[in-house]
Structure 1
């Protein structure tokens, strides 16, 4: 695991100003398993035009949604041929004649999904990009646009939480889960974090607690009567965040406060969310769904709101209250290694392609 100790801006200044003569990217021309359909190929760059921005990509992570998109099971699918990747950070090389919000040397992240970030260079329309400060660590910048944004929106948009309140979440060791822990801790909100049992559970628990987690339990513990002892120390949660579905989500629902809310944003178990009738009748719980891509589409015309969200997250990063998930950097030509690790159970390091 490589520890990143320099900032994006410093990295960019250290790079050669010469752009590669042959941009390359991970291209697929049909849906299927990523290790079979992705190929590292030369990619052409369109004309810059009046509103185009030529970007040199620096780093881009592999997220579950990226895998789903290539498999053809995601809600938004690109036209073929397509370049993989929905998140990452790049440096502006050149801008079109009508572009005034960006200049060469600026750092940018995608404003929406589907841009295809697993490539060395690209030309994007200016409205598809968000500028970020130059003093953000590289791995934090590369992983800023999806999980931290998802965590912040879910903690802010569904329930009014105040310091001392609690949130329960599953998949707590995921990128989104780690962001929830840190953002909640910065706001004084307690977190109960559910993870799958594993041989290195104590090591994982210690790491999540070092990020600010108040309690880390297994899925099995979630179902045991001893949970009542936990709520002697931590108040019952007002909000549950579900990335798993199935029985795990059902058990979290049982522990919500009266009129609590569960937000489902993923379905890792590929099982439906089963709602006990008693929970609906006697607890009057609320069930909501959240998709960051849709939120960005709904707010595409409100660049101030998008930029404000990024600014809030960057402020937490600067304060040391929001760190990137543990990352494993992999050179782009070794993408098959990264894909294998990204789809292997219990591998907690985020795979990040370095361009």
Structure 2
């Protein structure tokens, strides 16, 4: 969008001279006054901006951005909450495959309240709650102006933190459960990284659909407490990696059918354990690599078990003209939230404490729940 706000961001590295650098990126009074008289404008916005890629705690800063013109098909949204996801951190670091051009505002998903509308907008009213769907870059700011096609209206009774986080992790879990094996009630899945947010969502969504889950966690302090937590979420079986260092892991299945589908977000030995559980013709889907170790597959797994290895990346799926389907699934997931069938731990943090939340998201303060910024 060719806007004053975009000009502000470009001014961060000197490509435009609309602003005086000595004025902390605030617009000159004359420029702002002339523009405000000629168009409907949004309020000014506070935003977390990074001018170049690098360590997020070093390159991000909170700045003030000027008003943006609200065109006839635009919706101005006052953001309510937005999470700090690992992919947000990777974008700032410059290592994520798809990322906005710098300088940029951080954040990729969130929830907001309609503040004002362009003259041609229909179906939305001030006060409605909306989320960007598919998600959109730049949610770490107090006001966002985008075309009405970006925004999906949701139930205002949804807990704010769940509305802010539904689009990335829960949607990843749902899509992987539905896209690879044609699972039905009574079937089972196996996964590593079960304590992750996606892992917890897989357990609960599978449970809601009558699908049983076998879950693998790391050996670490507090593993017994983690096991109990996952059991309360609906996990059928939970094992640490060391428990599965046996010849035949399927002896642990008892009355659970051999899984046709497995999920891997760790790699290394943890991925091999998922493969050991899979039935003939089963599929393992990889969506992460937290251990940074490669996946090793035995020749016999391919020849005698005919196993398949697949990958999943939510952003690629959402970029393939899936907007309407994506929105139906979001409504389904938020319905599970309302029914108490989908829950995960989060911490709401005031926007002014963004860098504390960032430190927690970076793991600098030990294990922490998902950090969600509240504007």
Normalised by the size of structure 2, how large is the TM-score?
Answer: 0.85
Shift of 1:21: 5.3
Residue 220 of structure 1 deviates from its aligned partner by 2.3
Matched, 1:192 2:214: yes
Partner SS, residue 136 of structure 1: coil
Deviates more, 1:156-165 or 1:180-189: 156-165
* Aligned partner of residue 109 in structure 1, secondary structure: strand
The DSSP-based 3-state class of the residue aligned with 1:283 is coil
Question: 1:162-177 alignment to 2 at 5 Å?
Answer: 162-177=184-199
Give the whole-Å Cα distance in 1 for the aligned partners of 2:123 and 2:235.
39
Matches within 5 A, 1:44-193: 44-193=66-215
Q: C-alpha displacement at 1:251, in angstroms?
A: 2.2
Cα distance in 2, alignment partners of residues 110 and 20 from structure 1: 18
* Structure-1 separation of matches of 2:147 and 2:43: 21
Cα separation, 2, equivalents of 1:266 and 1:113: 20
What is aligned with 1:214? 236
CA distance in structure 2 between the partners assigned to 1:312 and 1:21 by the alignment: 33
Gapped runs of 5+ residues in structure 2?
A: 1-40
- Aligned residues: CA RMSD: 1.9
Other-structure match for 1:327: 346
Cα drift, residue 175 of structure 1:
1.3
Q: C-alpha offsets along residues 27-59 of structure 1, whole Å, 9 cap, x if unaligned?
A: 001111110011011123421112211111111
Deviations 1:201-226 (A, max 9, x none): 11111111111111122222233347
Q: 1:317 is matched with which residue: 297, 319, 337?
A: 337
Q: Say whether residues 1:256 and 2:278 are aligned partners.
A: yes
Stretch of structure 1 that moved more, 290-299 or 226-235: 226-235
The answer for unaligned runs of 5 or more in structure 1 is 1-18
Which residue does 1:352 correspond to in 2?
Answer: 372
TM-score norm. by structure 1 comes to 0.89
Q: Which residues of 2 match residues 1-80 of structure 1 at below 5 A?
A: 22-80=44-102
Q: Which has the larger radius of gyration?
A: 2
Q: Report how far residue 113 of structure 1 moved.
A: 4.0
By how many angstroms is 1:114 displaced? 4.1
- Stretches of 4+ aligned residues off by more than 4 angstroms: none
User: How far apart in 1 are the matches of 2:68 and 2:268?
Assistant: 45
Aligned pair partner of 2:269 in 234, 239, 247: 247
Distance apart, 1:349 and its partner CA: 0.9
Conservation of the 8 A alpha-carbon contact between 2:161 and 2:348: no
Pick from 191, 201, 210 the counterpart of residue 223 of structure 2.
Answer: 201
State the SS of the aligned residue for 2:78. Answer: strand
Q: Is the 8 A contact 1:87 1:110 kept in 2?
A: yes
Instruction: Point out which structure has higher relative CO (alpha carbons under 8 A, 6+ apart).
Output: 1
Query: 2:125 & 2:42 partners in 1: Cα distance?
Result: 19
Q: Matched residues in 2 for 1:93 and 1:204: separation?
A: 42
Q: Which whole-Å CA distance do the structure 2 matches of 1:240 and 1:228 have between them?
A: 14
Tell me the SS of whatever aligns to 2:304.
helix
Residues in 2 aligned to 1:139 and 1:124: alpha-carbon distance in whole angstroms: 22
